[in-house]
Amino acid sequence: MHYKERELLNGDILSRRWTGKAVKDSERLKFFVDFVFERFHRRDMVPPDPLQCVYAYERLEDREVAALLAASLAVGRAQSIVDQVQGVLERLGNSPAFFLRNANAADLMAVCRGFRYRFFHEEDLRSFLKSLSHVLRTYGSLESAMASCLKRSRGDLVKGIDLFAGLMTRSGSAEPPARHRLVARPSCGSACKRWHLFLRWLVRCDAVDPGGWSCLHPRDLMVPVDTHMLAIAQTCGLTQRRHADMKTAMEITEAFRRLQPEDPVRYDFSLTRMAMRERELLEKWWELFQHSKGGTS
């Protein structure tokens, strides 16, 4: 265990920092999330995670395709997601974007044949790739498609995502809505964790997120809310909502925006990685936080 983690678990860091001081709750929270960021926000902490499937692609057009596929399949155990995403990407060849721009119905059928992951079947993947192919042919890139949707939504991120999702459920596909289970719609009330993961990966650029897109700024992003992030936010008092829906995602994002106005999703990866690997840090911090609230709130 890292020496700072030992000090945190023993209460040494927090007691030294806060003893005899009137400290706001926001300062305590900022100290903790910065500590977690320093500890966990590293490339070697990523596996197993679907994000690792995106790193292999230097060309942005391929990276964005790999990112959308990886994020869309991000349901269930991390290693199982990685295995499924890698399997599909291998069938798409060295350039997924080139393959999809030039694929015909038979090509897509071959890629999807036998695919099954949790409640997704080969028909779901085929509809997804068919729509993705049409979007690439129409707009040239996924970023161009998103930029168009954001322009139509006048910069409203949630509406922009909904318009983009609309492209993915309509473009070049006569499939019924039931065949588009890989595409979440904000207009249906979903927190759209997978869309926000996709955007975090492509808009932020640092040791973990590969970036590449310029149609959005990190300040515009929303926190991807899953069970881990919801539990963290509830423990830290960032939300009292019980369900991971869009309203919850917006509330949590606003709480982190008060800490990092220019990058509200900065702590997403490190906090969720901590929750999966060393949850006792969060539990110990909350215990110390409650005991040290003698200062100003």
The answer to whether the CB of 32 falls within 8 A of the CB of 40 is no
Q: Output the pLDDT for position 167.
A: 93
Q: Output the pLDDT for position 205.
A: 98
Q: Output the pLDDT for position 277.
A: 87
E strands in the chain: 116-117, 120-121
Q: Output the pLDDT for position 22.
A: 47
The answer to whether the CB of 134 falls within 8 A of the CB of 166 is no
Mapping DSSP onto H, E and C, the string for 32-99 reads HHHHHHHHHCCHHHCCCCHHHHCCCCCCHHHHHHHHHHHHHCCCCCHHHHHHHHHHHHHHHCCCHHHH
Q: Output the pLDDT for position 189.
A: 79
The answer to whether the CB of 195 falls within 8 A of the CB of 250 is no
User: Residues 260, 262, 265, CA angle at the centre, nearest 5°?
Assistant: 65
CA gap 248, 240 in Å, rounded = 9
Q: Output the pLDDT for position 171.
A: 57
Tens of pLDDT, residue by residue, the chain (297 residues) = 454 555 555 555 555 554 445 447 788 889 889 999 999 999 999 999 999 999 999 999 999 999 999 999 999 999 999 999 999 999 999 999 999 999 999 999 999 999 999 999 999 999 999 999 999 999 999 999 999 999 999 999 999 999 999 999 875 455 555 568 899 988 887 889 999 999 999 999 999 999 999 999 999 999 999 988 999 999 888 999 999 999 999 999 999 999 999 999 999 999 999 988 887 877 777 776 666 555 444
Residue-range domain boundaries for the chain: 3-40+222-291, 50-190
Identity of the amino acid at 295: G
CA gap 55, 202 in Å, rounded = 11
